[in-house]
Structure 1
Amino acid sequence: MRPTRPAAALAALAVGAGLLVGCTDDGAQADCDATAADFSWASPSPADDERFDLTGPGWIGGDSTYSVQLPDERTLWLFSDSFIGEVSRSGRPAPGMAMVHNALVAESDSGRLSTRTAEGPESFFADPSEDSYYWVQDAAVEGDELVVFLSLTRAVGEQGFAWDHNAIARVSLPDLEVTEIIDPGAGQDHVAWGAGVMTTPTHTYVYGVEDLEQTKHLHLARVPAGNLTDRSHWEYRTADGWSPDVLQSARLTDGVANELSVSRYRDGYLMISSDTSAPFSPKINAWTACSPQGPWRDRQTIYETPESGVGKHFTYNAHGHPEISEDGQLLISYNVNTFDFDELTRDPTLYRPRFITLDLE
């Protein structure tokens, strides 16, 4: 069944209480119960798949699938490349379907979904130029605004792309209007920040990925609560501590994807990511640690996506949704795509998230 708000709230309180006893933000303890976890295989969640079984008009397919619970109890879903339009139950799109580089979908407490794009339709976070655009990363609520991490991406050739630099968007709440995009341009960053965001009472932890194509490395920054948009307050995890110098940011582990999640678990932390130790792997992995920076213990494979390898299909960018998960479970999404773009235009319903649940007890 779809997660209920009261159940999700109770789960968050229970997990948070455990952390106050066993784990601090900087993870001073040498060991914790979280690292002893032996997870069972995750289970498909068709009821959660159905929340995006939409015919339009509006969002009918896309990837990324980040979620944030807003103060007014709505769940906001953030998507990168998205199809906007109408589609039949058989998957055939109506004339006029458009593709934008990012879109928001707001879900009310009753489950009603509404799409947010710019008029046209155009990307919600406007494309900076004809050959560049923003893909969304994770987001967090700070006071009366939503802070969204963005990756400025440049088009390469007909269908290629390359990450260029980081940006941050500020979105007013509850009306969901973009008030500012902080885009400093390319600089010293070699890490795409915002792959995952985790908040605690004292800090916001921002996970980033250094993408070397063959290998992807996890990095971490932390920011005092309430200062997320001011990079002068950021500290970066080094090999043995924290530094204000982004160039000192250390590689914490590898095999992660460009999107992931870290959430509280028992007296420690749980990271979920698609496996990138092999090209287009169908595996979704879980890591545990006693502190936000790790060390991240031996990963466990918790699921293999059945869509991978069917025709030209592949899956990617799995991450958890702790704020809307049932008590004792973690709801996880992953994206489905195909190397045949014409297939997507014929049936954009292929391009929708799939959901699984992981038993945490």
Structure 2
Amino acid sequence: MIRRSTALVAALFTGLATATVPIAAQAAEAPSACAPRLSASVNEALTERFGTYGDTAGRWTGADSAYSVPLPDGSTAWIYSDTFLGEVDANGGRPLDSPFIHNSIIVDDGGTLTTYTGGTASAPESLAKVAGADESQQWYWFGDATVEGDALQVMLLEFVKTGSGVFDFKFVGNAVASFDVADMSLTSITELPESAVNWGSAIYEDPEDGYTYVFGVEDLQAQKFAHLSRVPTGSLTTADWEYFAAGEWQGDPNASTSILEGVSNEFSVSRFQGRFTLVTGDATEALSAKIVMYRGDDIAGPYTGKTVLYETPETGGNIFTYNAKAHPNLGDDDRLLVTYNVNSFEGDDLYADAHIYRPRYIDVEF
């Protein structure tokens, strides 16, 4: 299984059909009378906004990951990992010399989009880079993020290249990047304790108990397990973290134990309709088209009632989809906005059609 794209394998955002697609709720356990009734449809506003921007702005032409974080001024920061920059040509493709970086941010201020990268406009670089490293060999991908004071805190996952193949890379560490919310300039990178878990798959701030909960993934390729940690809210980089281990909170990151099997490397956890709601791509199936939801009464689970929210129509042939998540800040009491990434196993596809490497935006109505 693949975490996400590299320079030759990225993800997409095309204009999807706008008709509502009813999706029957499907539970992993026996059918229940309380299974939710839902339907899913393309969010036309975001699809049009980012599609037009990618095609015409001459700046950002697509990216994957796509976490969203509300900023203090009311705008929204979209957090991306692998990113194509430059222009889309007259045929809707990307020039072969299109700039490619490993992380970026777009701020959506009332429909006006601004892309932030490192480097310069003519020579863009990733916003966060591993100090002293050749970025073709060692880089950061972004995880989920939160705002503390005037800083946007973004989880970092460090990877190194292990061979010449597109998927020859491995995870080596976690960190937190701090950005000034005024201009998205990088102010610091804080290393986290060594751990086998990819921390930053999802972040949930609990207003009742005063903790920020950070979810992570133990990625065993064919199997992926969700883990849970916490830190007092407002102190992501300054306080000691605790890790959920078989029902107890411990200070040793290597003691962390799984709370759910079958999540993708990126997912979301939010409080929705009175319960903790985890939305993820279905990693219990290889290259699954299913986006599923689990629910629980406690932040640590158990998460049960597996329900299919949507099946991605792009999946098949060279195309696969991944890293679905909900964005509670952009939904409401009866609707979850869900994004997912699309990719091709054929790198040439991503240059022939720029619309292949952009997130999708789906409204799931309950």
TM range (shorter): 0.7 to 0.9
Structure 1 length-normalised TM? 0.85
Question: Of the candidates 310, 314, 322, which is equivalent to residue 320 of structure 2?
Answer: 314
1:93 is aligned with what amino acid?
R
1:39, CA displacement in angstroms? 4.3
* CA-based RMSD: 1.7
1:339, CA displacement in angstroms? 0.2
CA deviation string 1:2-25 (max 9, x = no partner): xxxxxxxxxxxxxxxxxxxxxxxx
Question: Of the candidates 112, 126, 129, which is equivalent to residue 129 of structure 2?
Answer: 126
Structure number having the greater helix percentage: 1
Q: Distance in 2 between matches of 1:57 and 1:174?
A: 23
Quickly say closer, same or farther: Cα 1:61–1:215, change in 2 above 3 A: same
Q: Assess if the C-alpha contact under 8 Å between 1:39 and 1:302 holds in 2.
A: no
Quickly say closer, same or farther: Cα 1:89–1:308, change in 2 above 3 A: farther
Asked whether 1:241 is paired with 2:248, we answer yes
Quickly say closer, same or farther: Cα 1:174–1:337, change in 2 above 3 A: same
Q: Distance in 2 between matches of 1:257 and 1:90?
A: 34
Query: What corresponds to 1:8 in structure 2?
Result: none
2:40 is aligned with what amino acid?
A
1:48, CA displacement in angstroms? 2.1
Name the count of aligned residue pairs.
Answer: 321
Q: Assess if the C-alpha contact under 8 Å between 2:95 and 2:351 holds in 1.
A: no
Quickly say closer, same or farther: Cα 1:265–1:157, change in 2 above 3 A: same
Q: Assess if the C-alpha contact under 8 Å between 2:291 and 2:324 holds in 1.
A: yes
Query: What corresponds to 1:257 in structure 2?
Result: 264
Question: Of the candidates 254, 261, 267, which is equivalent to residue 274 of structure 2?
Answer: 267
Question: Of the candidates 21, 31, 40, which is equivalent to residue 38 of structure 2?
Answer: 40
Q: Distance in 2 between matches of 1:39 and 1:188?
A: 43
State which drifts further: 256-265 or 323-332: 323-332
Query: What corresponds to 2:191 in structure 1?
Result: 183
Q: Assess if the C-alpha contact under 8 Å between 1:72 and 1:174 holds in 2.
A: no
Query: What corresponds to 1:286 in structure 2?
Result: 293
Query: What corresponds to 2:351 in structure 1?
Result: 345
1:235, CA displacement in angstroms? 1.2
1:326, CA displacement in angstroms? 3.9
Quickly say closer, same or farther: Cα 1:329–1:94, change in 2 above 3 A: same
Q: Assess if the C-alpha contact under 8 Å between 1:83 and 1:348 holds in 2.
A: no
1:305, CA displacement in angstroms? 0.3
Q: Distance in 1 between matches of 2:301 and 2:186?
A: 34
Asked whether 1:298 is paired with 2:340, we answer no
Q: Assess if the C-alpha contact under 8 Å between 2:266 and 2:325 holds in 1.
A: yes
Asked whether 1:332 is paired with 2:338, we answer yes
1:285 is aligned with what amino acid?
V
5+ residue gaps, structure 2, are 1-32
Q: Distance in 2 between matches of 1:95 and 1:359?
A: 40
1:163, CA displacement in angstroms? 1.3
1:244, CA displacement in angstroms? 1.6
1:126 is aligned with what amino acid?
K
Q: Distance in 1 between matches of 2:91 and 2:206?
A: 44
Question: Of the candidates 168, 171, 188, which is equivalent to residue 179 of structure 2?
Answer: 171
1:313 is aligned with what amino acid?
I
Structure 2 length-normalised TM? 0.84
Q: Assess if the C-alpha contact under 8 Å between 1:275 and 1:285 holds in 2.
A: yes
Q: Distance in 2 between matches of 1:200 and 1:272?
A: 18
4+ aligned runs moved over 4 Å, structure 1: none
1:177 is aligned with what amino acid?
S
Question: Of the candidates 46, 49, 54, which is equivalent to residue 47 of structure 2?
Answer: 49
Q: Assess if the C-alpha contact under 8 Å between 1:66 and 1:138 holds in 2.
A: yes
Q: Distance in 2 between matches of 1:58 and 1:195?
A: 27
Asked whether 1:146 is paired with 2:152, we answer yes
5+ residue gaps, structure 1, are 1-34
